[in-house]
Amino acid sequence: KAGVTQTPRYLIKTRGQQVTLSCSPISGHRSVSWYQQTPGQGLQFLFEYFSETQRNKGNFPGRFSGRQFSNSRSEMNVSTLELGDSALYLCASSLAASGETQYFGPGTRLLVL
C-alpha cells in the first residue's frame, strides 16, 4: 500500500505570495492532519480534516487554511507569505478521526525569500 504523498517536495516563494500544498493520504485513510516543523519550534499542529470538515485547529493565524476533498486528499494554503513561514510542512493521515496512529508523508520544504 502506498504511503502518504505530498507535492511539491520543495518550493521557493517570495514574501507576500501565496502557496498551496497538496497531500494524498494512505488509501482508506480519512483523517488528514497538517504540521509545521521548524528548528526553533519543532513540530506544531496546524489543523485536521476528516470527511471534508475541519475537526481541529492549532494556534496559527488565519493566513493558514486548508480543505479536504471527497477522496480524502487535502490541500493547505498559506497566503501573504512571511519569512517566518519557511519550514517543513508535514501531512499525516490516519484511518479515522481519532484513536488511530498517524502516518507522515515526506513533507514539503518551503523557503520564503
Interface ranges with other proteins (CB under 8 A): 4, 31, 33, 35, 42-45, 48, 50, 55-56, 58, 90, 92, 94, 96-107
User: Do residues 63 and 39 make contact, with C-beta atoms less than 8 angstroms apart?
Assistant: no
Q: How far apart are CA 57 and CA 95, in angstroms?
A: 19
Q: How far apart are CA 66 and CA 43, in angstroms?
A: 18
Q: How far apart are CA 55 and CA 47, in angstroms?
A: 8
Nearer to other proteins (CB atom), residue 28 or residue 99? 99
**Cα three-residue angle 86-80-52, rounded to 5 degrees:** 85
Nearer to other proteins (CB atom), residue 25 or residue 85? 25
Q: Residue 47 Cβ, how far from other proteins at the closest point, in Å? A: 9
Q: Residue 69 Cβ, how far from other proteins at the closest point, in Å? A: 18
Nearer to other proteins (CB atom), residue 39 or residue 62? 39
